[in-house]
Homo-oligomer: A and B are copies of this chain.
Amino acid sequence: MTKFYRDGTISEQSIAPFDFTDRGLLLGDGVFDTALVLGGRIFRGDAHLDRLFDASRQLGIAVDRGAITRAAEALAAHGGPGVLRTTVTRGPGPRGLRPLSPQRPTVFASLAALPTNVVFAPLTLDIAAIRRNESSPTSRLKTLNYLDAVLATAAAEAAGFDETLFMNCAGRVACAAAGNLFAVRGRQIVTPPVADGVLPGIVRAFILTECGGLERSLEIADVVAADAAFVTSSLRLIAPVTRIGDARLASTNNDVVRELQKRMWSAIDAECGITLPLPGGSDEGERLR
């Protein structure tokens, strides 16, 4: 049962009073964060809440860090395994684009059951017709403007794919609708830089700072010719990509990908004291305590 946090209280009711002048609803004027909750802890919680706070500030949303932390931690304390979503909007305002001054940001959150079947699970990627607009700050922030991702994902599913891969307006590889893309060649692990229009993902940062990953712009030809590719997200963690459009990739059997999954799995175990199922039936991953 999904739990909702609003105004300091937790409820299982999705319906509650809301201000219909809220700019989050009317203009997509806000940001959010999705994080994994295990054993009452948010995995990489500080990184998630810092990023949400920084994104709010980049948009000029005058939210308190404390309000974000309170919402997230109140729900995380309810356990898991779950998916925590924390949302910040610029709050209510008058008609039009100009915000209320001073702002009264809205913060709310939800904790849903973790769909464990997607964790570490392989996936196929369609190539989206819609480009990722790297000229917009929203390409680097997890904003409420998710319609391109909704539309591209629906198109991918209609074409028989699991997920979609965006190129940016310069024609370079950007990211999946809900995750960062990495290409593996030999021992080299590469992902596009944030400037190419991608979110600075939390699992992406784990690969870059703790597993020797590198930032470099990628052409689609580089990725389909790679030894392997994978998508990172706080929900899928490290998902091997088995197909991009017509090109097949042997990512599920790749030693580098498998090693990264194990390091991720160990990092979660170390931080949350919980093991997650690893694909391929390795013993340590069979149970989800």
Contacts and interface: CB of A to CB of B under 8 A. Distances in A.
A25 to B, nearest CB: 5
A115 B157 CA distance: 45
A96 B19 CA distance: 24
Interface stretch (A26-34, A207-215, A264-272, A275-283): A26-34
A147 B157 contact: no
Interface stretch (A119-127, A148-156, A180-188): A148-156
A60 interface: yes
Interface string A118-149: 00000000000111010111100001111111
Q: Interface size bucket, A side?
A: 35 or more
A147 to B, nearest CB: 5
A159 interface: no
Interface in A55-87: 59-60, 83, 85, 87
B151 A137 contact: yes
A213 to B, nearest CB: 26
Nearest to A6: B20
A10 interface: no
A16 interface: yes
A237 interface: no
Given A26-B87, A177-B97, A20 B110 contact: yes
B14 A15 contact: no
A17 B18 contact: yes
A144 B147 contact: yes
Given A25-B87, A130-B136, A133-B169, 5 more contacts: A14-B19, A15-B17, A24-B25, A59-B147, A97-B146
Closest 10 CB pairs of A and B: A28-B28, A18-B18, A145-B145, A27-B146, A169-B169, A133-B133, A131-B135, A95-B112, A25-B25, A130-B136
8 contacts: A15-B19, A18-B20, A26-B87, A27-B144, A27-B150, A28-B145, A97-B153, A98-B153
